[in-house]
Amino acid sequence: MTLSNGPQLITYADRLGGDLRGLDQLLDGPLAGAFSGVHVLPYYRPFDGVDAGFDPEDHTVVDPRLGTWEDVRALSERGVVMSDVIVNHVSSRSDQFRDVVEKGDASPWAPMFLTLSSVFPDGVSEADLARIYRPRPGLPFTTMTLGGEPRLVWTTFTPEQVDIDLRTDEAWDYLVSVIDALTGAGVTMLRLDAVGYSGKEAGTDCFMTASTQAYVDRILELAHARGASVLLEIHGHYLQQVEIARTVDYVYDFALPPLVLHALHARDLAPLARWMEVRPTNAVTVLDTHDGIGIVDVGPNDLRPGEPGLLEAEQIDALVESIHDASGGASRLATGAAASNLDLYQVNCTFYDALGRDDRRYLLARLVQLMVPGIPQVYYVGLLAGENDVDLFTRTGVGRDINRTYYTADDVAEHLDRAVVAAQLEALRLRASHPAFEGEFTSELDGTRGVLAWTTPESRVQLGFDVDDASFVLAVRGPEGWRTVVSDGDLSPMAEAARRAAAELADRALPGAER
């Protein structure tokens, strides 16, 4: 039995399996039974641009170095495939924009791209410019020469990512071609990347405007007509997520990661308990992703002036410092404007390092995620309890690369042999198949102790834990009584030594056999 709300893997095809076929082999091999689906991060041409694939030159073509649309379809036959629809921008190296660079307004694609005058045709004031919300310091414009004329081109993220104008037919022709390519290959979940910035309107902060909602509604209609659902990727005040969730298929629960980290660092479940009372259940849950840990999602925010956050400013400062200390200072180096980060309170760090490489606390964090209502997604680095890749970050200077390791097949095999990874996989297989997860969810969080449970008349899955000492027991009740699936004792040094000894004996008994 595979649950429709079962876990999904988040990964780059080239950084885990090597390519799409290699990823498929992993899901059919050592990861079999753990995932009901996979979010394959951008595999379009090129997958290795300035923003790791989020700046495609051609969003409708699979980069041949990774595979073909048939390889995507093969993944979809195994389970749900989620892919990114990059709504806000395209690459400055795309054929469409190159034509505009050459011909200017004479290009048939000229209406598709935003310049300053596209939004402010009657001129712009200092107040207008200061009001624009951008995830990086400075204004979202880059001076470029279009048809021999210097123009201020709208570039929310980087100069290589040119924003498109969704008020135009040309932009929608482009987006429809993208959605058709994806759904035609069996993709059934569309993640709308950076969609919050797509609705630029004069007199607003140009983020999550009325136009944005209209564009999302139109994409929802297109997706549903093609049998796909839609996930919005929005960082902001937690109340925005609650409101947005009422209008779409899925939103991310970006508040969960920092609240779990706060609980485990500060030994305080109260903020998480408050969130559990109001959070939307049509959510995709994560701990870490290809981006940083979005601390901004639990604090006060200029997007909702006067509204308190789930954590107070002092608690957020303490949490950020705790992560930096736990990571030995590596996250401090990789976080902030100097490391090309999107915002100053988006901490770049693996979740494993954010908890000081403490196996017990890390596994407890994962179990809490798996028990919370929604679709749990597990990032490939997190699945392998990966450590900060300081070498990669040092080479590229991009802070987020500290959590974007390239794993060889040997690396994967070595990590899968660790107790904390094996325990995660056991819990994931339970989450992917146990019928109790289609039942009723209950949550009891008090002080440092908690009980999260899913119950049907025939069965119950229950996680009991204490964030003070990171003790926990994940257990299942069935017709034959209670059975422990995993507990903190499974990660003791003696348990790890016994597990490795048993694996070595199995290898000697069955030479050449795969475990």
**Residue 296, pLDDT score:** 85
**Residue 503, pLDDT score:** 46
Domain with 505, as residue range(s), is 436-509
Mean pLDDT on 463-481: 95
CATH number at residue 458: 2.20.220
481 in any annotated domain: yes
How confident is the model over 428-437, as pLDDT tens digits?
A: 999 999 999 9
65 in any annotated domain: no
**Residue 4, pLDDT score:** 77
Q: How far apart are CA 367 and CA 427, in angstroms?
A: 7
Mean pLDDT on 41-57: 92
456 in any annotated domain: yes
In three-state form (DSSP H/G/I as H, E/B as E, the rest C), the secondary structure along 267-283 is CCCHHHHHHHHHCCCCE
Token digits of residue 284:
């995709």
More confident residue, 343 or 66: 66
How confident is the model over 332-371, as pLDDT tens digits?
A: 888 875 544 445 458 999 999 999 999 999 999 999 999 9
Which residue, among 38, 351, 51, 7, has the nearest Cα to 194 in the 3D structure?
A: 51
418 in any annotated domain: no
**Residue 134, pLDDT score:** 85
Record the pTM: 0.92
Q: How far is CA 57 from the centre of its chain?
A: 22
**Residue 493, pLDDT score:** 59
Number of domains composing the chain: 1
How confident is the model over 93-148, as pLDDT tens digits?
A: 999 999 999 999 999 999 999 999 999 999 999 999 999 988 778 899 999 999 99
How confident is the model over 453-471, as pLDDT tens digits?
A: 999 999 999 999 999 999 9
How confident is the model over 24-48, as pLDDT tens digits?
A: 999 999 999 999 999 999 999 999 9
Angle (nearest 5°) at CA 72 between 70 and 76: 110
Q: Give the list of residues 6+ apart from residue 323 with CB closer than 8 angstroms, or none.
A: 261, 265, 293, 331, 347, 349, 354
311 in any annotated domain: no
407 in any annotated domain: no
Token digits of residue 473:
């027991």
Mean pLDDT on 272-296: 94
**Residue 2, pLDDT score:** 60
449-455 and 460-466 strand pairing: antiparallel
- The CA–CA distances, whole Å, from 109 to 99, 193, 261 equal 7, 22, 46
User: How many residues can be counted in the chain?
Assistant: 515
246 in any annotated domain: no
63 in any annotated domain: no
Catalytically active residues, by annotation? 193, 233
More confident residue, 297 or 3: 297
More confident residue, 507 or 38: 38
**Of 6-20, 264-278, 342-356, minimum mean pLDDT range:** 342-356
Q: How far apart are CA 441 and CA 106, in angstroms?
A: 59
More confident residue, 299 or 68: 68
